[in-house]
Amino acid sequence: MIARMARLLLRGVADLGRNPLAQALTLCAVTLTAFLAGLFLLLLVNLNQALLSAGGDFVFQVYWAPGTPEDALRDQWARLDALPGFQAKTTYTPAQALDELGLALGGEAKAIGGLTGGALPPTAVVSLRAPEADPAVFVQQTLSALQGLPGVADIHYSALQVDLARSWQRFARTVLWPLIGLLGFTAALVVGNTVRLSLAGRRDEVDILRLVGAGRWYIQLPLLVGGAVQGLAGGALALGLLALAHLALADLAATPPLNMTFAFLPLGHCLALAGGMALAGALASLVALRE
């Protein structure tokens, strides 16, 4: 039974060599469809990544009440490193803050000549990167953590940035990923139809097999394997082409003014692309036989 099954599976692969030209054309069509779908996915994934990372970078300006002891300040500034998504921080004692202000004012520095260090509050500018979860939640959690620090008088951050990040996430969730799903479905339909048409040329063979008493699986299994192999091969070749396209695009994206990191598709996406093509090929074989 197992040997018979193995023979049928192998026959499905061997049958692909029976009409090389038709099979090659089918493979080309499957590869190009998968490549176009993959390219779109690659661009969207990178765009999504770029927008999320830009929208996910938050800068908090934390002000302590004037007169907070410097030891306590330094201790709290050290604890800022432990905040989730911590990227960088710059701290200013009142004296440092005054120096910075003087430098920033340049020619107008004499206007603050009478001020002492105590006139400005101790400050920390903390850069954080939100994880991919809801940025608003992240901001709220960070605010709570910062407000919990003793002596913190005020905190500033950009609320507009939160809205932007949130909007992009909502857009991605409601439009982009369904669009990618639709694109995948369309690609599967095109691939399926191509495989189905290539099987139409083997209708006589199927009729003759039925005539001599072949059962359903004897006929279906090799065709199903053939369709799946065609889809898988097309998907794998498309991934190869995508890798080449990625090299060119990554170079392009790395140059100014973009200066973007252009990543290749994650492994899960690659497997989904190749697996989806294989599944479409196999299903198309089944549909072709039922017609």
Query: Where does residue 24 rank: exposed (0-12), middle (13-18), buried (19+ CB within 10 A)?
Result: exposed
| Rounded least distance, CB 192 to another protein, Å | 21
**Residue 156 vs 210, nearer CB to another protein:** 210
**Residue 170 vs 210, nearer CB to another protein:** 210
Helix axes 20-55, 267-290, angle to 10 degrees: 140
Q: Which two tokens stand for residue 214?
A: 């072949």
Site size for another protein, by CB under 8 A?
15
Which residue has 């608003």 as its token pair? Answer: 136
| Rounded least distance, CB 285 to another protein, Å | 18
Contact status: 21 vs another protein (CB under 8 A): no
Contact status: 214 vs another protein (CB under 8 A): yes
What sign has the CA pseudo-torsion 36, 37, 40, 46?
negative
**Residue 170 vs 203, nearer CB to another protein:** 203
Closest CA to 272 of 162, 184, 158: 184
Phi, psi of 66 (to 5 degrees): -55, 145
Contact status: 212 vs another protein (CB under 8 A): yes
**Residue 133 vs 208, nearer CB to another protein:** 208
Q: Which residues inside 191-210 make contact with another protein, applying CB under 8 A?
A: 204-205, 207-210
| Rounded least distance, CB 253 to another protein, Å | 50
**Residue 232 vs 289, nearer CB to another protein:** 289
Closest CA to 158 of 178, 134, 136: 136
Interface positions with another protein (CB under 8 A): 4, 18, 204-205, 207-216, 218
